[in-house]
Amino acid sequence: MYCHIIGYPLNKPRSVKIWQNFFKKKKIKCKMSAKEVYPKKLSYVLKKFKLDKNFLASAVTMPFKSKVVKYVKFGDKISMYSNSINLIIKKKKLLLGFNTDVMGALDSIKNVKKKNIMIFGIGGTGKAILRVFLKIYKNTNFIIVSSRNHREFSSHKRVVERKKLFIEDIKKIDLFINCSPLGSDLKKKFVNKSSLSLNHISYLKKSATIFDLVYKPLVTKLQKNSKVFKIKYINGLKMNTVQANVALKIILKNIN
């Protein structure tokens, strides 16, 4: 059997080592590797997975999380709500899709107050998280900060859209979620940037929490800024680890 992580481009994804160690520990004979897939080849690759009796599962990363939806059957309600897939497993003659990213996000903030949430950056992961949160957190209000308009959320009564950060919004939020690449090492221009400046953080409630999806590098400018004002900060490493572990549990269940 074999597994992959598919995406384009791929930059030494953590999933490969985590999955390899898991298979070794469980004494499962299965190879795991990174597979760069050109976007135009996605349909071909997924059809090949479906027909290959040795294919077990694949992690899915950008830019394919929303694109693979039309090729799979949703494996659970969270994946259906998110309309985004980061895990594919083969079950009989079907490809089942799951979103363990959102499961990791839910676990990361389970003990955090969530009456008012601000989401900064509404790309693929941000949209998936917001879709699920709107379904699960019925009494939560959301502010999304994005340079683009998002028709999907614009008519929702509990969602306010902003083009930029406003101090009056920052003052009332309980949870700030950075879904942008700012602070990450994906590109050199991102590394020394922060979604919240020191001035912005100074207006946060002392009880507020910052949840940053970035986990590389481990210490970001946003984390340093939050430390100045002793604001609770959660980086994306836990989310990434949880989502990988959840994915492996799903795979193990499928093997058994």
Q: Tell me the three state secondary structure of residue 119.
A: strand
DSSP state of 228: H
Amino acid letter for position 106: L
* pLDDT number for residue 154: 86
* pLDDT number for residue 11: 80
Instruction: Report how far residue 96's alpha carbon sits from residue 88's, in angstroms, rounded to the nearest whole number.
Output: 6
Instruction: Report how far residue 51's alpha carbon sits from residue 73's, in angstroms, rounded to the nearest whole number.
Output: 16
CATH superfamily membership of 2-98: Leucine Dehydrogenase, chain A, domain 1 (3.40.50.10860)
* pLDDT number for residue 256: 63
Assigned CATH topology for domain 103-236: Rossmann fold (3.40.50)
For the stretch 186-202, what's the b/e string if a residue is b when 16 or more beta carbons lie within 10 angstroms of its beta carbon?
Answer: eeeebbeebbbeeebbe
Give the residue range(s) of CATH 3.40.50.720 domains in the chain. Answer: 103-236
Instruction: Report how far residue 117's alpha carbon sits from residue 133's, in angstroms, rounded to the nearest whole number.
Output: 10
- Write out pLDDT tens, residues 116-138: 999 999 988 999 999 999 999 99
Instruction: Report how far residue 215's alpha carbon sits from residue 234's, in angstroms, rounded to the nearest whole number.
Output: 10
Instruction: Report how far residue 179's alpha carbon sits from residue 185's, in angstroms, rounded to the nearest whole number.
Output: 14
- Write out pLDDT tens, residues 155-170: 899 999 999 999 999 9
Instruction: Report how far residue 76's alpha carbon sits from residue 57's, in angstroms, rounded to the nearest whole number.
Output: 16
Question: Distance between alpha carbon 120 and the CA centroid of its chain, in Å?
Answer: 13
Residues 210 and 196: beta-carbon distance below 8 Å = yes
* pLDDT number for residue 92: 85
Give the residue range(s) of CATH 3.40.50.10860 domains in the chain. Answer: 2-98
- Omega before residue 39 within 30° of 0, cis: no
DSSP state of 8: S
Q: CA dihedral in degrees (99, 174, 233, 183; nearest 10)?
A: 70
| Average pLDDT per block of 10 residues along the chain, 256 residues long | 94 87 92 95 95 94 94 95 96 93 95 97 93 96 91 91 97 97 92 96 97 94 97 93 90 81
